[in-house]
Amino acid sequence: MQTNLADFIRGTPDGDTADAILRKCVHCGFCTATCPTYQLLGDELDGPRGRIYLIKQFLEGAAVTEKTQRHLDRCLTCRSCETTCPSGVEYHRLVDIGRAVVAERVARPAGTRFLRFALREFLPRGWLFGPAYKLGQFFRPLLPPSLKAKVLPRQKSVATTRRNHPRKMLMLAGCVQPAMSPNINAATARVLDRLGIATIEAEGAGCCGAVRLHLDDHEGARDDARRNIDAWWPHIERGAEAVIVTASGCGAHVREYAHLLGHDRAYAAKAARVTLIARDIGEVIAAERTGLAALLEKSVPMERRKIAFHSPCTLQHGLKVRGAVEEILQAAGFELTPVADGHLCCGSAGTYSVLQPELSLRLRDNKLACLSAGAPAAIASANIGCIAHLGESAAVPVRHWIELLDEAM
Ligand code: SF4
Ligand code: SF4
């Protein structure tokens, strides 16, 4: 589509990115059919094509209103529209730019501002979130049901032997996952250890930056990326093969480091390298198929268990990893139940479940109905946000798939 960006953004890095994306969109509307919020609300402006049009209008100088903000806020950034789009429109980058412009021009009510500030400053700080979460787990039996559902029961910690191997990979600890589900990275380390790969959680690395980016703090998100790159770089120089991420939401964001820091002279080359070697754990295990098959052959066969796999949006639409985890689980002896509408978001979407609770709960109910249809004994997923969100009201346990693979081995 033709564009004529306004002076305030024309020629800036964001302006150039937005312009290139807008020009790719041919306004065909194919994406609308696979957008979860359009399906729920039936309003063109709550679908990708409508949102793209809104963004185009204000980047070309039209006024930004609360209505504009509302339609952009309702977007999950699930990127289902990108999977459907035949023209390769990178919608998530455009909506990030659009949201930053709207944030500067439309003031939110004080309560919402405080909530967004609290989420932005609290969640990414593991040293703050971890102890607070542990306190919540301790008092869990006394919490009101709504809050209790948000706090996962304390996980039994299983000892992890970390042997040294010539092959090494960095592993992102992240911000909330170590407190909510420490066994995910522990299980990853055990599985990779059996495959002859040592994992390193670099000191100083922390939140990937996605929380800050999605709450309009773009510079804060870049700082998070720079800090992680600084922590990882000495290990990368010493030969670490990959940066493994076990939460697909964080993995999709780490893949964006090259784009985020593309104009930062000091970090652009390093960020490009990190993007190149960033891997979801599903991609890492899929590449070790032969070693995995040999290990599974030696393991004690377990009772065949029916599970439903929920592929997070960040895994299938963000990282474009489709079918790999399902194949690994089947190879490990799990029976996967069919799941209808697998392309649709569960409603977790980072902080969306807190900021848009009504839509989020509708999406979760729909998702759980689809996941439960085959009567699985458990639900597996690949992102801590989805696991916690679905686990709040699922009738069966919701686990990270790597924990199931670890147990099967
Ligand atoms: S499918 Fe792609 S090209 Fe078509 S309207 Fe949607 S974003 Fe634009
Ligand atoms: S990212 Fe998801 S919710 Fe947002 S417009 Fe695209 S499909 Fe719809």
Instruction: State the chain's mean pLDDT as an integer.
Output: 93
Residues in the chain: 409
**Does ligand 2 come within 6 angstroms of the Cβ of 360?**
no
CA distances to 17, 54, 74, 100 from 58, in Å:
15, 7, 18, 12
Which of 163, 234, 232 has the alpha carbon at shortest distance from 197?
163
The structure tokens 């094509």 sit at 49
Q: Pocket around ligand 1: residues whose beta carbon is below 6 Å from it?
A: 25-31, 48-49, 52, 81, 84-85, 87, 89
The least confident of 140-144, 259-263, 269-273, 281-285 is 140-144
Per-residue confidence band for 385, with pLDDT thresholds at 50, 70 and 90: very high
- For residue 306, pLDDT beyond 70: yes
Residue nearest to atom 7 of ligand 2 (CA): 35
Residue 159 has pLDDT above 80, yes or no: no
Ligand 1 pocket test: pick from 53, 79, 85, 92 the residue with the most ligand atoms within 8 Å of its Cβ: 85
pLDDT, average across residues 372-388: 96
160-183 mean pLDDT: 88
48: Cβ below 6 Å to ligand 2?
yes
How many helices (H) and strands (E) the chain has is answered by 24, 8
Pocket residue to mutate for ligand 2, from 21, 25, 35, most atoms within 8 A of Cβ: 35
**pTM attached to this predicted model:** 0.93
Kindly report, residue by residue over 237-254, the tens digit of the pLDDT.
999 999 999 999 999 999
* pLDDT at residue 155 is higher than 80: no
Residue 138's pLDDT band, with cuts at 50, 70 and 90, is confident
Q: Is 49 in the pocket of ligand 2 (CB under 6 A)?
A: no
Question: Nearest 5°: phi and psi at 169?
Answer: -135, 140
Under DSSP, is residue 199 helix (H, G, I), strand (E, B) or coil?
strand
Residue 152 reports pLDDT greater than 90: no
Which pLDDT value is given to residue 157? 62
Interatomic CA distance for residues 365 and 345, integer angstroms: 11
259 C-alpha to ligand 1 centroid (Å): 22
**Ligand 2 contacts CB of residue 85 (under 6 A):** no
pLDDT, mean of residues 165-185: 91
Q: Domains in the chain, start-ordered, CATH in brackets?
A: 13-105 (1.10.1060.10), 300-408 (3.40.50.1860)
Cβ proximity of 64 and 58 under 8 Å: yes
Place of tokens 């299938």: 316
What band does 321 get if pLDDT is binned at 50, 70 and 90? Answer: very high
